[in-house]
Structure 1
């Protein structure tokens, strides 16, 4: 039975109600204070006979979350007449309020620093909840709030009325999946496709997918397309939202924003029902994205956002002047140098006096002698004529040696057919062994890019570390231009119209693989390489 908020008593337990902070389908929330010590709190009030008693559900969840960072504290609970109440920590603005404030300031989307900070903190909060066997099941901007001073830089998860344990307390097993039709539970905007559009049972993956959609929404001008017409009032309007969400491809949703967000969404959707997400990896990814963009202290959510970092021009300092040396001192130095006894000199570059003659064809067939690696390049070895031999070259590992040969075959290629063979061998070699792309593997991609783009030019290596970006004094590349991801490359390689287009795809593949965890080539990555070999044959 519904009640007007005017019928709610002004005092509940030891708390006096003050301003009403909000209301919704299931009840009201007030600012209140303790009658004895004056502590301010938030007090959630709900009719005891409400058809969806979310207060009761929350009351059971709070003890599981107490003490976790970014988790509100439950101070008290009880019943006053026809009303059930929860006394919880008083917090600041919700992210929904902050997002709307940002729109009022004339910004169509939130800044990258703020969204990276939100991503890191929300993933951390979900990690705490999931580690304590609790699903949130209603991730949205209105259910995330910042603390009051001195906690105003911490994001809190709130509203656990839809939360549920995913580990059965009696059997200690994960809740089962089911294909049985279920009523919709969650919110229209961010609930995962599996739960919202397909009626599947929620699990940890769905909390993270909802978070991913929320992050993308914040960076999209005007927000996600299905959020722009407001709450659906009819079943047909709701069906339109579900179709739009279900049909939206990650690459389309994330066009124009950093590729990390698309990769995160795809990762969430690849997880199986009972999989445990890799929270730490994705916190590190968004931390790295923020650092690459010049932001610091990213773990702190600062609102309003601080000014964007300005790139400082490189200051070239002149070398200190060397002290002058008088003529007598210089003469002594030259005399001392003349008395030095030096070992026989090595051949000078360009001096062909002692250069070995070109190998004859019959010599090329003889197997080369395998030698051990010396600790010193000066090991006293000599030719029969007494001339010192050059330092020994360390024997390469099998993988490095093979990749080096493949790189040379690319550089020696004169047509697309030869390049296709090299790419096919490169792909097969990695599939049979370690799938990690080493520096020799990146060197192969460098050579391939060079041949595809312009065989006459020298290119910068594709393998670049974040630390190198941080030490570079030039302006970092804007994150929003990083559009390439492996899944897109896999699709586009089959329709590439020229070698130049293929070169760009190879560059994107190298950059994305370099940033991935462990630099491991995925199934999509191998599919891209196989498609690349096939396309080279087709363009030959």
Structure 2
């Protein structure tokens, strides 16, 4: 009996290991020097990042010598749908500020890939290397204003992000190093029909997003709208400014949901000027189908600093971290 339990545990462990073998936990999907795209235009150099679903590679455009990023996911049923959805969103946002340019989309063996503009670090990684693991209020305000603009552009096209968080916001490179880009649209959803009308609201929705940053409405499995992306931004800014969220150590999702409903603004943002409290108040007035006043939210952010200088260097560039 004891041996059977041991074997069962071993088999369960092996099964779990197999289930985990995707994204950053999986062997490399692409080998160095792999050629991708029409006329073998893009040459893979190395893997530079991995997430829960896919892997990111650095590659070179052999015609222009430009560095590009290649996002790769297995062509399994669920993962392939994420990639198809992401490519559709990026195609619609092509050439739009705050969204990476896409150069090629296609299959390779048992994977699907997107070749896109190479970006810099994400906000989550940047925060972790800063002193005290938090950003200055001035930098967070500038970033927040840009993300509000990005969400406005995305929502105008009828799309929701549904997984906005620090690691899904990247900065550009070189002359674009102060510009924020939204990434990872594998959980996006259309909330508006082609004729401009709103899609019918579902009575119950499967969870989409990340529990730490999602709105309290999503915990209740309610249909998301533009307001929910703004709630994700609100919690993202809290983590950037304060270095943590009050529920970061809560293991229970239900406990986390309750905390979001009862914890007051000044406990989430103890360091922010009192003027920022109106961001919370205005969010709470919005309903699922409400069209947010994006300029108002930008103005609330701007009111928290004396002057918004978009050309100033961020502190991490000055510190060289």
Change (3 A) 1:208 1:6: closer
Matches within 5 A, 1:364-379: none
Q: Please state how far the C-alpha of 1:112 moved relative to its aligned partner.
A: 1.0
Asked if the contact 1:5–1:28 (Cα under 8 Å) also holds between the matched residues in 2, the reply is no
1:225 aligns to 2:246 (yes or no): yes
SS in 2 for 1:225: coil
Q: What residue is the counterpart of 1:17 in the other structure?
A: 44
d(CA) in 1 for partners of 2:313, 2:300: 17
8 A Cα contact 2:137 2:272, kept in partner: no
Is the counterpart of residue 6 in structure 1 residue 54 in structure 2? Answer: no
Pair 1:190–1:261, CA change in 2 (3 A): farther
Q: Which residue of 2 aligns with 1:199?
A: 221
> C-alpha deviations, 1:26-60, integer Å up to 9, x for none?
11111111233322101001111142331111111
8 Å contact from structure 1 (residues 184, 199) kept in 2: yes
- Cα shift at 1:305: 6.8
1:108-139 deviations in whole A, cap 9, x for unaligned?
Answer: 53211111111111111111111122111111
Alignment RMSD, CA only?
Answer: 2.2
2:207 corresponding residue in structure 1 = 184
Could you list the structure 1 runs, at least 4 aligned residues long, displaced by more than 4 angstroms after superposition.
Answer: 298-301
Question: Across the two proteins, how many residue pairs are aligned to each other?
Answer: 291
Distance in 1 of aligned mates of 2:277 and 2:133: 20
CA-to-partner distance for each residue in 1:276-299, whole Å, 9 max, x for gaps?
1111122122223222xxx45147
- Between the two structures, name the one with larger relative contact order (CA 8 Å, sep ≥ 6): 2
Task: Please report how far the alpha carbon of residue 228 of structure 1 lies from its aligned counterpart in structure 2 after TM superposition.
Answer: 4.0
Structure 1 unmatched runs, 5+: 308-540
**1:75 offset after TM fit, Å?**
0.5
Q: What's the counterpart of residue 127 of structure 2?
A: 99
Q: What's the secondary structure of 1:217's corresponding residue?
A: helix
CA distances 1:76-129 after superposition (whole Å, capped 9, x unpaired)? 011111111000110001101111111xx3x25321111111111111111111
Gaps of 5+ in 2: 1-18
Deviation at 1:73, TM superposition (A): 0.6
Equivalent of residue 27 in structure 1, options 48, 51, 54: 54
Report the TM-score, using the length of structure 2 for normalisation.
0.84
The answer to whether residue 117 in structure 2 is matched with residue 89 in structure 1 is: yes
1:119 and 1:148 mapped to 2: Cα distance? 19
> Does structure 1 retain, via aligned residues, the 8 Å contact 2:30–2:44?
no
- Please list, as runs of the form range in 1=range in 2, the aligned pairs for 1:256-405 lying within 5 A after superposition: 256-291=271-306, 295-298=307-310, 302-304=314-316
Instruction: Report the TM-score when normalising by structure 1.
Output: 0.51
Structure number with the higher strand fraction is 2
Q: How does 1:98-117 map to 2 (within 5 A)?
A: 98-102=126-130, 105=131, 107-117=132-142
For residues 400-439 of structure 1, the C-alpha deviation after alignment (integer angstroms, 9 at most, x for no partner) is: xxxxxxxxxxxxxxxxxxxxxxxxxxxxxxxxxxxxxxxx
Q: Distance in 2 between matches of 1:189 and 1:25?
A: 16
3-state SS of 2:92 partner = helix
Q: 1:224 to 1:49 in 2, by over 3 A?
A: same
| Distance of aligned partners of 1:6 and 1:284 in 2 relative to their CA distance in 1, 3 Å threshold | closer
- The answer as to whether partners of 2:272 and 2:304 remain within 8 angstroms in 1 is no
Larger radius of gyration: 1
